[in-house]
Amino acid sequence: MSDPARFNPLIVKLILVAIITLLLLWPLNLVQALIGERSAMRAAAVERVAGNVGHAQQIGAVMLIVPVTRSWSADGKTYSKTAEYRLLAQTVQVEGSVVAAARHSGIYSVPTFQAKLQVSGSLTSAELRGVTAPESGIVKRIGQVALFVAIADPAGIRTLAGIRVDGKMLPVTPVRVGELKGVGVNLAQLDGDLPGEIEFAFDLQISGTERLQFLPLAESTQVDLRSSWPSPSFSGAFGPLGSPRISSEGFTAQWRVLQLNRGYPQQWVDEKVSQTQIAESAFGVDFYEPVDTYQCNYRANHYAFLFIAVSFMVLFLLEQLLALPLHPVQYAMTGAALSIFYLVLLAVSEHLSFGVAYTFATAALVLLLSIYYGGVLGRARGGAIAGLVSGACYALLYRLILSEDYALLCGALALFAVLAAIMIATRKVDWSRLGRAA
């Protein structure tokens, strides 16, 4: 005799529901791929805007470039070798105000900024004296010494009249030091009488997109920044001092970075310190939008399979406990509606704020399920309950999407609560009897 459990209608229905749930992974994966595609299109929009106003900016002041050629004689021959020394400033102070605004490229919004910076500081001749000091049996020749300011995207420079060195304004020219881009000025030829200190200052107006950072190219770097952007994200290797003031009218922040805080010295030769090491010490602010539409859509889609599975579990239990049989096609219809929710959410959130788009998509889904199950169950009350349950589920999902720091905790506790409620509600159910009745 065959085992009756193999043909138990309850088991068959459960298997069919599980298969439908797994099949819904395909449309959910398509929606996730579409989210990635639309996010890439936004990145292209950022690039288009950056082509006009400048990319993310990193500014570093200042670096003294000293080429030194050593010549010596050995075995009747003369040899020479040239090395380029990079000497960093003693102190740098930056004071700036930043006007930030969102610029649109098609349907995409891109944060842009224009910064007015006053930069000043000084270099001491201590390291310079070590470079130019006489060496026994070696003749040193000092090449053209230049003062270099690193700027990630010089195309964003709007105003830079020059750099004032010891009270004299010197014109700037584009300069590249290794992999660092920027501008520089040539200093007077050095001789035996080295200055005790070199003071510099310049006013820079620069524009860019999304991010403004600074490189601590000094023994002591101090940055004071204020802006009207209400939602800054402080990024990089160092955070602001204390608690920066942030309000709906903007923010004010100060940084103080010492040589001891970074991972490279005050002086090196040629490429002994890479651009990667320097870039890792950058700090500053991101002018980001409080809700990243595509990140929120991705996180919503990430929970989609779990929510569909829980919804089907609840439907299955109600079907068995209330003796209201549902056809697998009705499960498939419900799963299609739950899947299309994420597509509607993505499409609407590109034109409205994410909160409004989520409210619209949830309201549409709840209304659809209420009407559908009101007809399927033959009771308007049953449809209202189905809509109420789905609304509660998607209210929880919205909480998980926005709760970036506590999403795992909230999700785990909510899932445990749902499972506990189902287990407690069905703890006295005789599933064998239900299977025979079916």
What is the per-residue pLDDT across 206-235, written as a single tens digit (0 to 9) for each? 999 999 999 999 999 999 999 988 889 899
> Maximum distance among all alpha carbons in the chain?
109
The C-alpha atoms of residue 205 and residue 116 are separated, in whole angstroms, by 4
Strands (E), 160-303: 163-165, 168-170, 173-177, 180-186, 197-209, 211-215, 218-227, 233-236, 245-247, 250-258, 267-269, 283-286
Whole-number pLDDT of residue 251: 93
Cα 4 to Cα 9, 216, 432, distances in angstroms: 10, 76, 11
Q: Which one, of 150, 172, 153, 154, lies nearest residue 162 by Cα?
A: 172
3-state percent breakdown (helix, strand, coil) of the chain, nearest 5: 45, 35, 25
The C-alpha atoms of residue 264 and residue 261 are separated, in whole angstroms, by 9
Tokens matching residue 83: 């090395």
The C-alpha atoms of residue 241 and residue 422 are separated, in whole angstroms, by 50
Whole-number pLDDT of residue 1: 44
Q: Which one, of 192, 200, 176, lies nearest residue 271 by Cα?
A: 176
Instruction: For 303-323, write each residue's pLDDT tens digit.
Output: 888 888 878 877 777 776 666
Q: How many residues does the chain have?
A: 438
Whole-number pLDDT of residue 41: 83
Mode of pairing for the β-strands spanning 146-151 and 173-177: unpaired
Whole-number pLDDT of residue 72: 85
Whole-number pLDDT of residue 242: 85
Q: 214: Cβ–Cβ under 8 A, 6 or more apart, which residues?
A: 58, 59, 60, 94, 221, 223, 255, 282, 283, 284
pTM: 0.73
Q: Which one, of 149, 286, 154, 150, lies nearest residue 207 by Cα?
A: 154
Q: Which one, of 289, 333, 285, lies nearest residue 312 by Cα?
A: 333
Tokens matching residue 437: 């009745």
Where the chain has pLDDT below 70, the residues are 1-8, 10, 189-195, 289-291, 320-323, 404-408, 411, 426, 428-438
Q: What angle, rounded to 10 degrees, do the helices at 328-349 and 304-321 form? A: 150
Is the Cα torsion angle 350, 352, 354, 357 positive or negative in sign? negative
